[in-house]
Homo-oligomer: A and B are copies of this chain.
Amino acid sequence: MISLRDVAKRANVAVSTASAALNGTRPVAAETKQRIESAAAELGYRPNVLARGLVSKRTRILALHYPAPASGFGLTEMQFATGAAAAASELGYHLLLSPDNADPLEELRYLTGTGLLDGVLLMEVRLDDARVELLTAQNVPFALIGRTRRPEHLWFADIDFARLGADVAGHLTGLGHRAMAFINHTGAAYAGEYGPVVRIGQEIAAAAKEAGMSYADGFDADTAEQGRAALHDLLDAHPETTAVTVFSDQAAVGVLAAVEDRGWRVPDDLTVVMVLTSAQVAAMFRPQLTTLEPPSLELGRRGAQMLIEQLSDETAGPPPGGELVPCRLVIGDSSTTPRDDKGVRA
């Protein structure tokens, strides 16, 4: 391994001078600097991150922490990682994957204690998330992808759920629908602590009301079987429904099956819209489903950028609050005008 000593020797300067020249940390005569840079280039010198980090207390390494979800990751979740890694890389940082096995907090406590990390990016954030308190207490810089119940003093990037609700309602009323329903995730795996499930339920309800639509919910589903049953129950209870919005892509499979059970067709007899499902996945259904595609890559990117910004900002000013990113409406073949504008089927 080529060390700074080797470079210094070749350039006939002291190690400290070589360091200063290479980092621009204090002025070095132009000619000397040139000589040092040449020597470094010729030798193929790469600074040792460990030694540097040991003294400077900065490693330019971030951890991405994700509590392993019971059901394995979907495409959406993993895109966070891709986006965050790309943004970090562009800014000269690296991203360390930190899955937690048993105890979410222990892993985090360990990692932050080792001096390896400059900051932490939290995924799968719950409405009340113990990790936030831990990191705050330990004074470790962090940012969230998603947000807690009260994120006012935190750095976070999350989906703009209010806008999402408005977009769904707008799309449907634009087509002439007056009665919609929403099949949410049950959120069972998170005991009602999962932000997207809670927020999306609230915001879609609010937007439907705002738009003057009749609205039904409470028929939640995570699997195809549940989705099928949910749609039947839903239509039995609210026969006026002309448009259904679905969160879970598995449930959507069941919804389409239930439509078929009834001898109906999508979109003629029922408009179906997915929410927080990527266009790539929505395109695999037949008919291709309209979806509000989550800005997963962008959220990952913004999370990493915010964290790095926070690290660069020496002054550590007052927390700026977070950033909300809109979803993209991708219209498929599953939404159209309702067959009967009286809202009742024969």
Contacts and interface: CB of A to CB of B under 8 A. Distances in A.
Interface of A: 1, 44, 46-51, 53-54, 59, 61, 64, 68, 72-75, 78-79, 81-82, 85-86, 89-90, 94-99, 101, 107, 110, 113-116, 224, 249-250, 252-253, 256-257, 280-281, 283-286, 288, 297
B85 A97 contact: yes
A115 B78 contact: no
Contacts of A107: 89
B86 A99 contact: yes
Contacts of A54: 48, 50-51, 54
Contacts of A89: 98-99, 101, 107
A50 B286 contact: no
Contact of A48 (B95, B114, B249): B114
A73 B79 contact: yes
B97 A283 contact: no
Given A46-B114, A50-B53, A68 B86 contact: yes
Contact of A72 (B82, B95, B101): B82
14 contacts: A47-B114, A48-B114, A50-B50, A61-B96, A74-B75, A85-B97, A89-B107, A94-B96, A94-B98, A95-B96, A250-B280, A253-B286, A256-B286, A257-B286
Contacts of A256: 286
A259 to B, nearest CB: 11
Contacts of A280: 74, 250
Q: Which 4 interchain pairs have the tightest Cβ spacing?
A: A46-B113, A78-B78, A85-B97, A49-B114
A96 B96 contact: yes
B116 A49 contact: yes
Nearest to A1: B115
Contacts of A257: 286
Contacts of A285: 284-286
B61 A72 contact: no
Contacts of A75: 74-75, 78
B49 A115 contact: yes
Contacts of A48: 54, 114-115
A257 B286 CA distance: 9
Given A51-B54, A94-B97, A253-B288, 5 more contacts: A89-B101, A89-B107, A250-B280, A256-B286, A257-B286
Contacts of A97: 64, 81, 85, 94-97
A66 to B, nearest CB: 9
Residue of A44, A59, A82 with most chain B CB atoms under a 10 A cut-off: A82
A284 B249 contact: yes
A50 B61 contact: no
A27 to B, nearest CB: 26
A97 B99 CA distance: 13
B85 A99 contact: yes
Contacts of A250: 280, 283
Nearest to A82: B73
Contacts of A1: 113, 115
A115 B49 CA distance: 7
Contacts of A86: 68, 99, 101
A50 B116 contact: yes
Nearest to A107: B89
